[in-house]
């Protein structure tokens, strides 16, 4: 009963303060500030979650989780080595490759690429590249066929069915440049992921790649797909240590790890800055309650003469201040969830309005604004906002509990 009494009095005090417009303005501004901070924090955390998910589902579904590359001699027994690696439950699949640098030439235009020779029987087990092909499906890749990134194709004005000349640099035994090898390829598929890989991907058959680069008789390396991408550095080392070859070891954290680190860094900065924004807004509650205590001294004195304890008075003003914090947190959470759920559509609308892309595929690994709403982020943000609001109520509520009825009522006589 006493708990309900404190809540009822706090509600009455909160409604009564509307008569004082200045107190009402400060109260509304604190509520608005909390709501704004919570809304922006939920929205930006959802965007960071989206970038992280896009990194895992798109970029890391195509780039190798880990790979080992022969230094001098080709890996002849790659099939048995792959089978041995896959025996580890943490290794999902393995595929051979041969890669080399080359130039594409067409109509007086040239483009530097890293060509990768692959075996589709194995490659599609370690890579989701087939999901980004135009046209689908990923059926064959033989002899003079080429799968080319959409950005490269656009730069060279290439379409499916067009021919393009590939120039492969060669060296003589004295490591001097020789005239490049030349081979004509037909563009069989375009790779369109909507990111930086569109400007670098060029796939040919592994037999053709071995012939052009001099890795006949075996393969240059083996790439792996792991169930846990975060464990890739350890897993690829374990796989390499089982191979009796002189190898280079690499994993996605070396080639793409900066993207993951950047996402985590931005997430931490965003959370710290916006939590401080919420804290500033929450401590506006201090001003609101200090003025409310000044305005309600007579009521507090009367309550005390009727037997209300100091703890009850503190509870009344704590609850009164929490109304702002809870209201602002819930409004901000609702708006944040609404915006985060449609962030991609909002970004597309802004792009149409401005007439250019917000994310450039040549700079970022995707060309769209992703969003992934996490309920745990919403709950944690709301809890943080309410806790900060609670802390802001303690001092004014304590001051209210220390009001002496004799002093207040004596002044009013």
Checking if the pLDDT of 351 tops 60, the result is: yes
Q: What are phi and psi of 279, to 5 degrees?
A: -65, -45
Q: Place 1 in a pLDDT band, splitting at 50, 70 and 90.
A: very low
Q: Are residues 225 and 251 in the same domain?
A: yes
pLDDT number for residue 413: 45
Per residue in 92-102, pLDDT tens?
Answer: 999 999 998 89
Checking if the pLDDT of 6 tops 80, the result is: no
Q: How high is the mean pLDDT of the chain?
A: 83
CA–CA dist 301, 393 (Å, integer)? 20
Q: Are residues 243 and 269 in the same domain?
A: no
Q: What percent of the chain stands above pLDDT 90?
A: 27
pLDDT number for residue 169: 85
Q: Place 361 in a pLDDT band, splitting at 50, 70 and 90.
A: low
CA–CA dist 257, 43 (Å, integer)? 24
pLDDT number for residue 260: 83
Q: Are residues 34 and 106 in the same domain?
A: no
What is residue 57's DSSP assignment? I
Spatial neighbors of 305 by CB under 8 A, at least 6 apart, are: 405, 409
Q: Are residues 294 and 309 in the same domain?
A: yes
Checking if the pLDDT of 16 tops 90, the result is: no
Per residue in 139-192, pLDDT tens?
Answer: 788 888 999 988 899 999 999 989 999 998 887 777 677 788 899 999 999 988
Domain stop point among 240, 255, 270: 255
Q: Are residues 190 and 97 in the same domain?
A: yes
For the segment 251-278, the average pLDDT, to the nearest whole number, is: 85
Q: Place 333 in a pLDDT band, splitting at 50, 70 and 90.
A: very high
CA–CA dist 370, 54 (Å, integer)? 7
**Prior bond to 385 cis, omega within 30?**
no
Q: Are residues 232 and 272 in the same domain?
A: no
Higher pLDDT among residues 287 and 374, named by residue: 374
Mean pLDDT lowest among 64-78, 158-172, 393-407 = 393-407
Q: Place 365 in a pLDDT band, splitting at 50, 70 and 90.
A: low
Q: How many domains does the chain have?
A: 2
Q: Place 193 in a pLDDT band, splitting at 50, 70 and 90.
A: confident
Q: Are residues 242 and 144 in the same domain?
A: yes
CA–CA dist 385, 327 (Å, integer)? 10
Q: Place 205 in a pLDDT band, splitting at 50, 70 and 90.
A: very high
For the segment 58-75, the average pLDDT, to the nearest whole number, is: 87
Domain stop point among 199, 220, 255: 255
Domain stop point among 255, 288, 323: 255
Q: Could you tell me the residue range of the domain that residue 119 belongs to?
A: 63-255
Q: Are residues 235 and 95 in the same domain?
A: yes
Checking if the pLDDT of 410 tops 80, the result is: no
For the segment 312-316, the average pLDDT, to the nearest whole number, is: 79
Beta strands in 50-90 (DSSP E): 66-70
Q: Are residues 17 and 138 in the same domain?
A: no
Q: Are residues 90 and 54 in the same domain?
A: no
Sign of torsion over alpha carbons 74, 77, 82, 87: negative
Q: Are residues 53 and 172 in the same domain?
A: no
Q: Are residues 292 and 390 in the same domain?
A: yes
Report the DSSP beta bridge partners of residue 181. Answer: 168
pLDDT number for residue 90: 92
Nearest to 4 by CA among 366, 303, 319: 319
pLDDT number for residue 331: 94
Task: Record the tokens describing residue 289, joined without a space.
Answer: 């309650």
DSSP output for 241-297:
HTS-S-EEEEEHHHHTHHHHHHHHHHHHHHHHHHHHHHHHHHTHHHHHHHHHHHHTH
Read off the pTM.
Answer: 0.76
């Amino acid at each position: 009963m006493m708990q309900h009494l404190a809540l009822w009095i706090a509600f009455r005090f909160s409604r009564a303060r509307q008569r004082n417009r200045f107190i009402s303005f400060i109260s509304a501004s604190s509520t608005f500030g909390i709501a704004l901070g919570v809304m922006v924090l939920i929205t930006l955390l959802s965007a960071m979650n989206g970038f992280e998910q896009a990194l895992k589902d798109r970029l890391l579904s195509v780039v190798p989780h880990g790979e080992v590359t022969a230094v001098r001699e080709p890996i002849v027994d790659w099939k048995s080595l792959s089978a041995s690696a896959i025996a580890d439950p943490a290794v999902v699949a393995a595929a051979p490759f041969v890669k080399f640098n080359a130039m594409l030439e067409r109509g007086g235009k040239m483009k530097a690429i890293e060509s990768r020779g692959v075996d589709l029987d194995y490659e599609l087990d370690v890579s989701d590249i087939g999901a980004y092909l135009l046209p689908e499906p990923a059926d064959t890749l033989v002899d003079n066929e080429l799968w080319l990134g959409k950005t490269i194709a656009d730069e060279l004005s290439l379409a499916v069915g067009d021919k393009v000349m590939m120039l492969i640099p060669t060296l003589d035994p004295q490591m001097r440049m020789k005239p490049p090898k030349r081979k004509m390829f037909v563009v069989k598929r375009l790779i369109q992921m909507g990111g930086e890989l569109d400007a670098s991907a060029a796939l040919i058959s592994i037999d053709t790649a071995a012939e052009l680069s001099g890795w006949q008789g075996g393969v240059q390396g083996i790439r792996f797909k792991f169930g846990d991408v975060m464990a890739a550095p350890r897993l690829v080392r374990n796989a390499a240590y089982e191979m009796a070859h002189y190898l280079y070891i690499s994993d996605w954290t070396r080639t793409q790890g900066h993207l993951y680190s950047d996402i985590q860094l931005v997430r931490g900065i965003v959370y710290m800055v916006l939590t401080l924004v919420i804290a500033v807004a929450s401590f506006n509650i201090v001003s609101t309650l200090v003025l409310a205590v000044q305005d309600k001294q007579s009521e507090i004195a009367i309550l005390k003469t009727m037997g209300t304890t100091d703890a009850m008075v503190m509870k009344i003003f704590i609850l009164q201040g929490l109304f702002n914090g809870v209201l602002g947190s819930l409004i901000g959470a609702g708006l944040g969830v609404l915006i985060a759920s449609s962030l991609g559509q909002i970004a597309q609308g802004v792009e149409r309005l401005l007439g250019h892309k917000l994310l450039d595929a040549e700079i970022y690994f995707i060309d769209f604004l992703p969003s992934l709403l996490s309920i745990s982020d919403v709950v944690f943000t709301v809890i943080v906002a309410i806790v900060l609001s609670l802390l802001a109520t303690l001092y004014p509520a304590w001051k209210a509990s220390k009001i002496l009825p004799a002093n207040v009522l004596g002044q009013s006589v």
